[in-house]
Amino acid sequence: MELHSGSLDTKEIFGRWLDEQAKSNYGAYIPFVGTIRAEDGIEALSFDIYEPILQKWFDEWQERAKVLGAVVKMAHSVGDVPVHTSSYVSAVFSPRRRVALELIDEFVEDFKANAPIWKYDVKNGERIYAEDRSTPMDGAGLLK
Amino acid sequence: MELHSGSLDTKEIFGRWLDEQAKSNYGAYIPFVGTIRAEDGIEALSFDIYEPILQKWFDEWQERAKVLGAVVKMAHSVGDVPVHTSSYVSAVFSPRRRVALELIDEFVEDFKANAPIWKYDVKNGERIYAEDRSTPMDGAGLLK
Amino acid sequence: MIKVEFLGPIGKTPMEIEATTLADVAVKLKEEQELGAWLDKCAVALNDTMVNDLTTVLKDGDKISILPPVCGG
Amino acid sequence: MIKVEFLGPIGKTPMEIEATTLADVAVKLKEEQELGAWLDKCAVALNDTMVNDLTTVLKDGDKISILPPVCGG
């Protein structure tokens, strides 16, 4: 897992992960690249991350992947990321395509639901919490 | 759709497709990279392709993707591809992640089932049809 | 005349035959011993479009392609 | 003492409270008016591990994190 300040260098990450696994004999490599869409007049999105819990979340996914003979990877931006640049890359390597296709779907969906990352719209230099697009994590409401 | 003689330059393809869509405002980009696994003592896999029907198959997928507001891409090798190098890259670009995750799965699975491509193991320089791993296409047996 | 070509691993040289429907083509190809193991698992294209109906009518100059089991990727 | 920290957009400075279970923490936090809109949609971590049980027993020096709705990617 890697966190970067600002936009991700997607090509560098794609190539580096490919090279790292070049001799691992995985038949399928599926990256997911998330790019900031220009919409609602935003200039950028901005991200807060709570790293200790994100790391635990990611470590559990590595264990899940390992049981399937697969590997997961993840990179995310911290701070402002301008529109048309990327804030998120995750990936699965697996010997077989079915495992890889199913795992990337589950990994990305669980990331959206449970990774401790908060998103803000940046408009006129102001940071506005993207509350309408945010999801309460599993177990939310415990203290209500 | 692009066909290349021998191994694919995966990084070049990933980056070029990313650049082509840099201003298209797609939020999700999911490439699938297929790499030749070292197994059963093969040196390489080798591929025959019948391009006119592959092109039609791909054009139909482009239409299907368009209806969903998405784009599909594909690159494949012709001829010999040594182990640990890549023979196949396909990708989906979509505004939204759910469409992209579902489309890459369907696109890759239909590719495996219906793209007119024949695979051969290369052992001791000899080309042996990979019959046990091949799938009859939709409609097979019409003339039996 | 109808041209019939055999793709990928079949390794048979193209044939020219007389036929007015795909059913006629089936009859002709079943006479070819070396195709015995192939026909029940091969799909068929007419002028590079996949076809599924034996009653399909053919015209002079048509091209039939015989496609054995595939494995791209 | 138990430290309570509020992550992401909540924007509240950390608190130090006395509590022996998570249920005690709930009672204390409900007294904080500015948390009114947050508690029903926030998840909770104890020493950086997600927790789901109000009877969870706390000890001196524990850290509670309050996690509002997320949206990575």
Over residues D9-20, the pLDDT tens digits come to: 999 999 999 999
Instruction: Decide if pLDDT at D36 tops 90.
Output: no
Examine residue C73 and state whether it is found in any structural domain, yes or no. no
CB of D70 less than 8 A from some CB of A: yes
Cα–Cα distance, D43 to D60 (Å, whole number) = 21
Instruction: Please report, for residues A33, A110, B43, D41, the alpha-carbon distance to residue A135 in angstroms, rounded to integers and kept in the order given.
Output: 20, 11, 49, 9
Locate the chain D residue with the closest alpha carbon to A53: D48
Distance from CA of B37 to the nearest CA of A (A): 5
The answer to whether the Cβ–Cβ distance between D49 and A56 falls below 8 Å is yes
Those chains having 3 or more beta-carbon pairs within 8 angstroms of chain D are A
D-contacting residues in A 31-90 (Cβ below 8 Å): 34, 47-50, 52-53, 56, 76, 87-88
Strands of chain B, DSSP E? 2-5, 28-35, 44-49, 71-82, 86-94, 117-123, 126-129
Per-residue HEC secondary structure of D3-61 comes to EEEECHHHCCCCEEECCCEHHHHHHHHHCCHHHCCCHHHCEEEECCEEECCCCCECCCC
Which positions ≥6 away from C73 have C-beta within 8 Å?
A: A97, B34, B87, B88, B108, B111, B112, B117, B119
Tokens 């524990």 found at? D62
Locate the chain A residue with the closest alpha carbon to B25: A37
Residues of A in contact with D29 (CB under 8 A): 143
Burial class (CB in 10 A: 0-12, 13-18, 19+), B132: exposed
Query: Which pLDDT value is given to residue D60?
Result: 97
> Using alpha carbons only, how large is chain B's radius of gyration in Å?
16
Query: Which pLDDT value is given to residue B54?
Result: 98
Query: Which pLDDT value is given to residue A56?
Result: 97
Q: What angle do CA C17, C21, C23 make, to 5 degrees?
A: 90
* CATH numeric code, B2-128: 3.90.1170.40
Strands of A1-144, DSSP E? 2-5, 28-35, 44-49, 71-82, 86-94, 117-123, 126-129
Reading chain A (144 residues) residue by residue, the pLDDT tens digits are 999 999 999 999 999 999 999 999 999 999 999 999 999 999 999 999 999 999 999 999 999 999 999 999 999 999 999 999 999 999 999 999 999 999 999 999 999 999 999 999 999 999 999 999 999 999 999 999
- Say how many domains are in chain D: 1
CB of A28 less than 8 A from some CB of B: yes
Examine residue D68 and state whether it is found in any structural domain, yes or no. no
Query: Which pLDDT value is given to residue A106?
Result: 98
Which positions ≥6 away from C67 have C-beta within 8 Å?
A: B50, B53, B116, B137, C7, C8, C42, C43, C44, C45
- The model's confidence at residue C36, banded by pLDDT at 50, 70 and 90, is confident
The strand pair at B44-49 and B71-82 is best described as antiparallel
pLDDT in tens, B49-97: 999 999 999 999 999 999 999 999 999 999 999 999 999 999 999 999 9
Cα–Cα distance, D70 to A112 (Å, whole number) = 7
Query: Which pLDDT value is given to residue B24?
Result: 95
Residues of D in contact with A87 (CB under 8 A): 73
Of B26, B33, B112, the CB nearest to A29: B33
The strand pair at C63-67 and C2-6 is best described as parallel
The strand pair at A126-129 and A117-123 is best described as antiparallel
Examine residue D24 and state whether it is found in any structural domain, yes or no. yes
Cα–Cα distance, C12 to C37 (Å, whole number) = 13
pTM of the full structure = 0.95
Which amino acid is present at A81?
Answer: V
The answer to whether the Cβ–Cβ distance between C39 and B119 falls below 8 Å is no
Examine residue D51 and state whether it is found in any structural domain, yes or no. yes
- The model's confidence at residue B102, banded by pLDDT at 50, 70 and 90, is very high
Q: Do chains C and B touch (3 or more CB pairs under 8 A)?
A: yes
Domain assignment of residue C7, given as a range: 2-62
Q: pLDDT > 70: what percent of chain B?
A: 100
Percent of chain B that is helix, strand, coil (3-state, to 5): 35, 35, 30
CA dihedral A121, A122, A126, A132 (to 10 degrees): -10
- Are B113 and B135 within 8 A, CB to CB? yes
Which amino acid is present at D2?
Answer: I
Residues of A in contact with B108 (CB under 8 A): 97, 101
Residues of A in contact with B15 (CB under 8 A): 11, 14
Q: Do chains C and D touch (3 or more CB pairs under 8 A)?
A: no
Examine residue C40 and state whether it is found in any structural domain, yes or no. yes
What CATH number should be reported for the domain holding residue D34? Answer: 3.10.20.30
Q: pLDDT > 90: what percent of chain D?
A: 97
CB of C15 less than 8 A from some CB of B: no
Examine residue D49 and state whether it is found in any structural domain, yes or no. yes
Which letter, b or e, does each residue of C30-60 get, where b requires 16 or more Cβ atoms within 10 Å of its Cβ?
Answer: eeeeebeebbebbbbbbeeebbeeeebebee
- Are B71 and B58 within 8 A, CB to CB? no
Question: Which is nearest to A63 in space by CA: A72, A52, A74, A55?
Answer: A72
The answer to whether the Cβ–Cβ distance between A35 and B14 falls below 8 Å is no
CB of D52 less than 8 A from some CB of A: yes
Query: Which pLDDT value is given to residue D57?
Result: 97
Residues of C in contact with B132 (CB under 8 A): none
